């Protein structure tokens, strides 16, 4: 089942809106990716690295105490937080860096918001011996010190971007500008299922390992497909990865949760599927937070990974056609969910992931007992401890003062 209507188009969305200088490189990437996809040896190499190095398959964990607390469907967690580097991002960077090597590229550039994609790219570059430069908004460099250190420790160069809002969208602009000037020997590893064709397809395919594993694991664990799968949506790489293999299964509800930030009425959010309008950002046509003059608005989320005013074109198509339900969780709801999961399951989820958990209770109750709800636990929350602890820690549970 595919939602790709023609190459690189998902209904009205997708395409390749880039400077002419980049078009030949994108065509080269498209051809190289098609050849690699048709080559069983390439697929086997990716699968081997995911197994031996990343630690796949990641487990499907029954969340018994959440199930009990929420009083509805059986809750299961797809544990991408257990993948090497602590998030799903590595699935894509391993694939793309192997593809870049196959294409004979000499160096790698990437953009990053929270730093998870930057760390995953730096990791793959260290593993395969390629130099790596990561563009990161100067504001994000300040608030994600741990990941900046991890990238540098892994041998990457971190380039702070001072233009615009100094966040992810500006990092992506600068990475594209750099790519335009060094396109012949450089591969640009985009981390979201966004950007110009073929990136939304390439990233989705490398991330779809999440959903494929889940399918097998669900059949083994409870003898059927999940009744609903829920994932957070920023650019959308973990969501499209876990949801895509189930698009053709009408019985499976697909739910995406966007960043509500300070609330949808405040304009300080990242809810591009809910409130965005059609536009072109970073090379593809999709739903974008913009003003009536076509200027891109700054997004806001407590989680740097959801702090993005666009969304991948395939998710925009799935949302607009109604195949995917879209919900929103605010900063405060995500924080509350972080502690709920920490204290009921012993897992510190990333703030991005906490948005998916924040809508878990209502969905579990809508489904009801005996049904199966899978939450994509896209990453671990260690990177967020400074942000979260700055707001104070709730008192311990069940301990006398």
Partner 1 sequence: MSGEIAQAFAQAKARGEGVLVAYAMAGDPDLPRSVDVFAALVEGGADVLELGVAFSDPIADGPVIQGAAERALKAGSTLKRVLDEVVPAVRQRCPQTPLVIMTYVNVIMAMGEARYAKLARERGVSGTILPDLPPEESASLRATFDAEGLDLIPLCAPTTPPARAQAIAKEGRGFVYCVSVSGVTGMRAELPPDLSQRLELVRSAAPVPVVAGFGISTAEQARTLSAHADGVVVGSALVRAAHTEGPAAAKALCADIKRGLRR
Q: Which residues, other chains included, contact 180 with Cβ-Cβ below 8 Å and sequence gap of 6+? A: 19, 21, 22
Site string for partner 1, 43-62 (x = CB under 8 A): --------------------
Q: What are phi and psi of 286, to 5 degrees?
A: -160, -160
Question: Alpha helices, DSSP H only, in 223-359?
Answer: 237-243, 272-275, 313-320, 331-345, 351-358
Quick one: 6 exposed, middle or buried, by C-beta within 10 A (0-12, 13-18, 19+)? Answer: exposed
Stretch that binds partner 1, among 181-189, 349-357, 373-381, 386-394 (CB under 8 A): 181-189
Kindly state the smallest distance separating residue 362's Cβ from partner 1, in Å. Answer: 35
Minimum CB distance to partner 1 smaller for 23 or for 145: 23
Give min distance, CB of 23 to partner 1, in A: 5
Considering only residues 219-278, where is the footprint of partner 1 by CB under 8 A?
278
Residue reference for tokens 């005013």:
309
| Interface stretch with partner 1, choices 11-19, 211-219, 220-228, 230-238 (CB under 8 A) | 11-19
Residue of the chain from 2, 5, 19, 266 that contacts partner 1 (CB under 8 A) = 19
Q: Footprint of partner 1 on residues 268-327 (CB under 8 A)?
A: 278-283, 288, 290, 292-296
Q: Give catalytic status of residue 37 as yes or no.
A: no
Tell me which stretch binds partner 1 (CB under 8 A): 96-104, 109-117, 176-184, 232-240. Answer: 176-184
Distance, in Å, from the CA atom of 38 to the CA atom of 112, rounded to the nearest integer, reads 30
The residue among 163 and 216 lying less far from partner 1, judged by its C-beta, is 163
Q: How far is the CB of 278 from partner 1 (least distance, A)?
A: 7
- Whether residue 175 contacts residue 111, with contact meaning beta carbons closer than 8 Å, is answered with yes
Is 218 or 296 the residue whose CB approaches partner 1 more closely? 296
Q: Which candidate in 30, 78, 80, 89 is catalytic?
A: 89
* Gap between the Cα atoms of 191 and 145, Å rounded: 20
> Which stretch, 17-25, 69-77, 88-96, 199-207, contacts partner 1 (CB under 8 A)?
17-25
User: What would the x/- binding string for partner 1 be over residues 153 to 172, using CB under 8 A?
Assistant: ----------xx----xx--
The residue (of 23 and 157) whose beta carbon lies closer to partner 1 is: 23
Out of 3, 10, 18, 274, name the contact with partner 1 by CB under 8 A: 18
Q: Is 378 noted as a catalytic residue in this protein?
A: yes
Residue 166 near residue 137 (C-beta atoms within 8 A): yes
Work out the angle at residue 330's Cα, subtended by the Cα atoms of residues 329 and 332, and round it to the nearest 5 degrees. Answer: 120
Residues 6+ apart with CB under 8 A from 345: 61, 63, 65, 66, 77
The reply on whether position 15 binds partner 1 by CB under 8 A is yes
Burial of 332 (0-12, 13-18, 19+ CB in 10 A): middle
Per CB under 8 A, the list member of 156, 176, 208, 350 interacting with partner 1 is 176
89 is catalytic: yes
Return the residue of 3, 10, 13, 25 that touches partner 1, per CB under 8 A. 25
Catalytic residue, candidates 284, 301, 303, 378? 378
Catalytic residue among 111, 174, 213, 314: 111
Smallest separation, CB 279 to partner 1 (Å): 5
Q: Which helix (H) or strand (E) holds 258?
A: strand 253-261
Site string for partner 1, 182-211 (x = CB under 8 A): xxx---------------------------
Binding residues with partner 1: total (CB under 8 A): 36
| List 2, 21, 106, 321, residue binding partner 1 (CB under 8 A) | 21
- Cβ atoms within 10 Å of 48's Cβ, excluding its own: 10
End-to-end CA distance of the chain: 56
309, 312, 318, 322: CA torsion to nearest 10: 0
Between CA 301 and CA 307 the distance in angstroms is 5
Q: Which residues share a beta bridge with 61?
A: 77
Report how far apart, in Å, the C-alpha atoms of 359 and of each of 90, 162, 228, 274, 327 are: 26, 35, 12, 15, 8
Query: Where does this chain bind partner 1 (CB under 8 A)?
Result: 15-25, 163-164, 169-170, 173, 176-177, 180-184, 278-283, 288, 290, 292-296
Residues annotated as catalytic are 89, 111, 378
């Amino acid at each position: 089942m595919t939602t790709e209507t023609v190459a690189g188009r998902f209904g009205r969305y997708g395409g390749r809106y880039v400077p002419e200088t980049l078009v030949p490189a994108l065509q080269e990437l498209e051809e190289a990716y098609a050849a690699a996809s048709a080559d069983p040896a390439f697929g086997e190499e990716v699968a081997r690295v995911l197994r031996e190095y990343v630690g796949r398959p990641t487990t499907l964990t029954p969340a018994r105490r959440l199930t009990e607390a929420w009083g509805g469907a059986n809750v299961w967690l797809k544990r991408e937080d257990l993948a090497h580097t602590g998030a799903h991002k590595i699935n894509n960077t391993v694939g793309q860096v192997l593809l870049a090597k196959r294409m004979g590229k000499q160096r790698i550039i990437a953009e990053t918001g929270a730093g998870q994609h930057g760390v995953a790219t730096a990791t793959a570059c260290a593993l395969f011996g390629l130099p790596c430069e990561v563009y990161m908004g100067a504001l994000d460099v300040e608030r994600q010190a741990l990941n900046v250190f991890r990238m540098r420790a892994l041998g990457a160069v971190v380039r702070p971007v001072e233009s615009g809002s100094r966040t992810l969208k500006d990092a992506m602009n600068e990475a594209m500008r750099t790519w335009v000037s060094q396109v012949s020997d450089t591969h640009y590893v985009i981390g979201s299922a966004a950007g110009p064709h073929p990136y939304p397809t390439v990233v989705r395919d490398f991330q779809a390992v999440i959903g494929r594993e889940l399918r097998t694991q669900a059949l083994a664990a409870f003898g059927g497909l999940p009744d609903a799968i829920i994932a957070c949506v920023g650019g959308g790489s973990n969501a499209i990865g876990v949801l895509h293999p189930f698009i053709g299964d009408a019985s499976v509800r697909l739910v995406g949760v966007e960043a509500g930030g300070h609330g949808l009425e405040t304009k300080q959010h990242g809810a591009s599927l809910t409130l965005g309008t059609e536009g072109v950002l970073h090379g593809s046509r999709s739903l974008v937070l913009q003003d009536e003059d076509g200027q891109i608005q700054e997004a806001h989320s407590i989680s740097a990974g959801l702090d993005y005013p666009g969304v991948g074109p395939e998710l925009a198509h799935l949302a607009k056609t109604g195949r995917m339900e879209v919900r929103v969780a605010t900063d405060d709801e995500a924080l509350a969910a972080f502690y709920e999961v920490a204290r009921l399951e012993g897992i510190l989820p990333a703030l991005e992931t906490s948005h998916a958990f924040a809508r878990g209770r209502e969905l579990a109750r809508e489904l009801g007992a005996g049904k199966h709800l899978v939450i994509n636990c896209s990453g671990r929350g260690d990177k967020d401890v400074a942000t979260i602890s700055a707001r104070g820690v709730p008192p311990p549970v069940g301990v006398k003062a």
